[in-house]
Structure formats: structure tokens, C-alpha cells
Amino acid sequence: MNTNETTTDWPYTRIKTIALAAATLLALAWLLTHDGCMHPLGNTIALIIYAGCGAALATPWAVRKLGPYLTEDDEQEEE
């Protein structure tokens, strides 16, 4: 079983998905710790990583779910 192959439903490989999820969770853990409160620069970096990785993980799912609502029907264009 090759874990680097992409599936037709998801644009990332399993390794990339796990890495993005791990980065998201580590950034959230940093933001919720006392050390994170003491270092504003580290907090800013963690927040950027958290938002970026979270958006990268959520975008394919959101596009797949919202895709039918984002396209216009040909019948509506004719009217």
C-alpha cells in the first residue's frame, strides 16, 4: 500500500494531511499554553500556522460540499 498516492476525493496525500493536522494541533497547543502567553512573537507565528493549516485542511471539504451551490444552472442564465 503506497501512502503517498492522492485519492480522487482529496488533493493531499495522507502524509501531507497528517502533517497539516499535526501542525494545526501543535499550533493550537502552543496558543493554549502558558509559554505561548509569555511570547507574543511565538503566539503570532503559531496563530498564522494555525489559520493557514486549518484553512488548507478545510478548503477541499468546503468546496466539495458547497460546489453544487456555487455553480449556476444553464436555465437560470437564459432567463
pLDDT, one tens digit for every residue, the chain (79 residues)? 455 554 556 677 788 888 889 999 999 998 888 776 788 888 899 899 999 998 988 888 888 888 878 776 655 555 5
Find the Cα–Cα–Cα–Cα dihedral 68, 72, 75, 79, rounded to 10°: 150
Q: Domain spans of the chain? A: 14-65
pTM summary value: 0.66
Q: In sequence order, which residues have a C-beta less than 8 Å from that of residue 42 and are 6 or more positions away?
A: 30, 35, 36
68 phi and psi, to 5 degrees?
Answer: -65, -25
